[in-house]
Amino acid sequence: MSYDLMVFDPTAAPREQEAFMAWYDAQTQWGEGHSYDNAQLTTPELRAWYDELRETFPAMNGPDSPLQQAANDSALWDDPHVTDYSVGRHVIYAAFAWSIAEQAREAVVSLAEKHRVGFFDASGNGRVVFPGDRYE
């Protein structure tokens, strides 16, 4: 199991909790018909969030993964900071190791505030936070 957090395009997501959860369920069906490891197809704000977060939490898969170049580097493969990202047009879902959950949440929230994207604590308290709301 992983510690899962999601950031999202606040212009695409509904603000009401029940509607948001239905939208979240639809987003996580991963039915957009593209590879979910290509950050080029998301919004500029989500891409900026992703690019900055990858400095500390490198991508496990896809073209942005350092593991592709370091197939024989077991230290990198064992690093708990390596993160599984799923990138949609309006969301980025990140699955972190539980051993770094607190560090991951702090980084995700800080960068969500900085890049003005929404935040959903999928594995934690289920809180949905839009830019301008208080991030906790």
Whole domain around residue 101: which residue ranges?
A: 3-129
Q: Residue 125: what pLDDT?
A: 87
DSSP string covering the chain: --EEEEEE-TTTS-SSHHHHHHHHHHHTT--SSS-TT-GGGS-HHHHHHHHHHTTTS-BSSSTT-GGGT-TT-HHHHT-TT-BEEEE-SSEEEEEE-GGGHHHHHHHHHHHHHHHT-EEE-TTTT--EE-TTSPP-
Assess if residue 134 is contained within a domain: no
User: Does the residue 55 lie in any domain?
Assistant: yes
Q: Is residue 135 part of a domain?
A: no
Predicted model pTM: 0.91
pLDDT digits (tens, 9 = 90+) for 12-32: 999 999 999 999 999 999 999
Point out the residues of the chain with pLDDT beneath 70: 67-77, 135-136
Percentage of the chain with pLDDT > 90? 77
29, part of any domain:
yes
Query: Looking at the domain assignment, is residue 136 inside a domain?
Result: no
Give the number of domains in the chain: 1
